[in-house]
Amino acid sequence: MIPTFRYHPDPIGTGAFIQGEARKCDCCGTSTEVWYENPFYTAADGVECICPECIASGRAAAQFGGEFQDAASTDSVSDPARLDELVHRTPGYCGWQQEYWLAHCDDFCAFVGYVGWDEIKEMGIEKEIEETYDQDICGFGLEDIKENLTNNGGMQGYLFRCLHCGRHLLYADCD
């Protein structure tokens, strides 16, 4: 069982954590069959395996002077404790370019997963995405998104959900 991450509720499903043969956590030294596979921004060398508990507790970020999300690549929220939780105690996601974490209702959103426009239509949330999409953050017009957003394609979508009102938001980038 892995800890619950408010801003990344399904880190195994999104591929942030890998399950496999036991490895030693570089932070706490314990054996783990689940380890972090996504970006960790640190100047420390040799950090290749971090267990979920060391992320959730903030131990890995503190021990290695690192962040799981670039604090400058997030929407703004008024409570600095929320930014601290996001960058120091939440597993990140992998983007084509620089990952960006969206916020809504003055809190960071939960990362749902990787999507293309087909997945958005299958979920029945295309109208919601049309209403919440922010071209200024992504740099692409909504029509470009509708025509070119393909999961695992050249234009990738990253789906988020507001923890307070439940609305879905989309961030996108290109390879």
Report the pLDDT value the prediction gives residue 133, as an integer from 0 to 100.
Answer: 93
Is residue 82 in a domain? no
Does 121 lie in the same domain as 56? no
Is residue 85 in a domain? no
Does 4 lie in the same domain as 68? yes
**% of the chain residues with pLDDT over 70:** 100
- The pLDDT tens digits for 28-51 are 999 999 999 888 999 999 899 999
Confidence of residue 170 (pLDDT cuts 50, 70, 90): very high
- The pLDDT tens digits for 119-154 are 999 999 999 999 999 999 989 999 999 999 999 999
Report the pLDDT value the prediction gives residue 20, as an integer from 0 to 100.
Answer: 95
Contact 99, 93 (CB under 8 A): yes
Mean pLDDT, rounded, of the chain: 96
Q: How far apart are CA 108 and CA 73, in angstroms?
A: 12
Is residue 79 in a domain? no
Does 108 lie in the same domain as 58? no
Rounded average pLDDT over 51-61: 98
- The pLDDT tens digits for 61-117 are 999 999 999 999 999 999 999 999 999 999 999 999 889 999 999 999 999 999 999
Report the pLDDT value the prediction gives residue 1, as an integer from 0 to 100.
Answer: 82
**Domain range enclosing 21:** 1-74
Is residue 81 in a domain? no
Does 103 lie in the same domain as 70? no
Is residue 170 in a domain? yes
